[in-house]
Amino acid sequence: MNSDDRLARYNRTRVLVTGGAGFVGSSLATRLVGLGAEVTVLDDLTTGLEELVPRGVKAFVHGSVEDPETLDPLVAGSDYVFHLAARVLASSTKDIRSDYRVNIGGTLNILLAARDLGPKAPPVVYTSTTSVYGNPRALPITEDEPTNILSPYAASKFAAESYCRAFVEMYELPIVMVRYSNVYGPHQSPRNPYCGVVSKFLEAGLEGRPMCIHGTGLQTRDFTYIDDAVTATLLAALVPRALGEVFNVGSGVETNVRQLAGLIAGLMPGQPPVEFIDRRDIDNVSRRVVNIEKARRTLRWVPETSLERGLAATLQWLESSKRAGQRATASQA
């Protein structure tokens, strides 16, 4: 049975997606709508965009996971909960208290709402981050690698993971944790100041600006195409053996930022230049590539999109989006 057949189980189920107006959350919600699920999106629109919420959702709730009065009935009315609401890495150091309230407090609110339902609690998938590994001892990184917390964002995401583990042990809640690695793809808007490096490089290339690399560009990452990340996340809630476990979600391929810039430059007609600028305080991880064998064995999931194909698809979407924006501007003139 392939992943499409297994995902058909979401048809006519009630699903809550927190952070569903964000890049990954909206992509997850879009897939669920296509699978025939009744989807409710909860988002406070701090970094999300309401325009990303797909048509066909049952409801969009403009609210926060910080508010139990809003959250509790949404969890109670769901067959599955996907918890993606979070303050992102780039903003976490600017407002650490907000990072704490949303990433830790908001997750605790989800877990308390599920606990109060007892045996009727829906499976909860908590989306964490490979940032919790920091600079690992060995590569590729397995889920057993000790954490090495290097940022407030990583601290809050791992604290939330720890609450998930505690609620699994104490209350036997059906919770799964997935650790994303540098997810990119269509609908990751470069207009968002907190978007990833892929969107920033692609937009710079299209506009004829230099692709700005922080530091040496020799730092490596494991870039994961959005469709692959969404599939892994959806499968995680459906596999009984996955409950209580944590899974890396990546490509298993290590790419340095200079190589990424070169691949993107190769897609552009004018070969945009590269400019090296100062390293940021959040750029403190030198190498990252994850081992995805556990997800392959347990979830029967493997990524299907190479970086080259994913970059081409993302560029195509960005070009189409820009043309649509230009037509809209012209029609208003």
- 119 burial level (CB within 10 Å; 0-12, 13-18, 19+): exposed
Give CA–CA dist 45/36, Å, rounded. 25
Which of 153, 163, 184, 225 is catalytic? The answer is 153
Do 172 and 120 form a contact (C-beta atoms < 8 A)?
no
Could you tell me the CA-to-CA distances from 188 to 26, 67, 281 in Å, in that order?
10, 27, 23
Token look-up 């820009």 returns 322
Q: Where are the alpha helices (DSSP H) in the chain?
A: 3-7, 23-34, 68-76, 89-92, 96-99, 107-115, 152-171, 197-206, 226-236, 257-267, 293-298, 307-332
Token pair of 316 as six digits: 């195509």
CA atoms within 13 A on the CB side of 243: 16
Token look-up 């081409």 returns 312
The answer to whether residue 153 is catalytic is yes
Token look-up 């964002």 returns 153
Q: Considering only CA atoms, which of 47, 42, 103, 93 is closest in space to residue 71?
A: 42
**Residue 234: φ, ψ to 5°:** -65, -40
DSSP-assigned states of every residue in 223-290 = -EEHHHHHHHHHHHTT-GGGTT-EEEES-S--EEHHHHHHHHHHHSTT---EEEEPPPTT-------B
Q: Considering only CA atoms, which of 113, 91, 121 is closest in space to residue 103?
A: 91
Residues known to be catalytic = 153
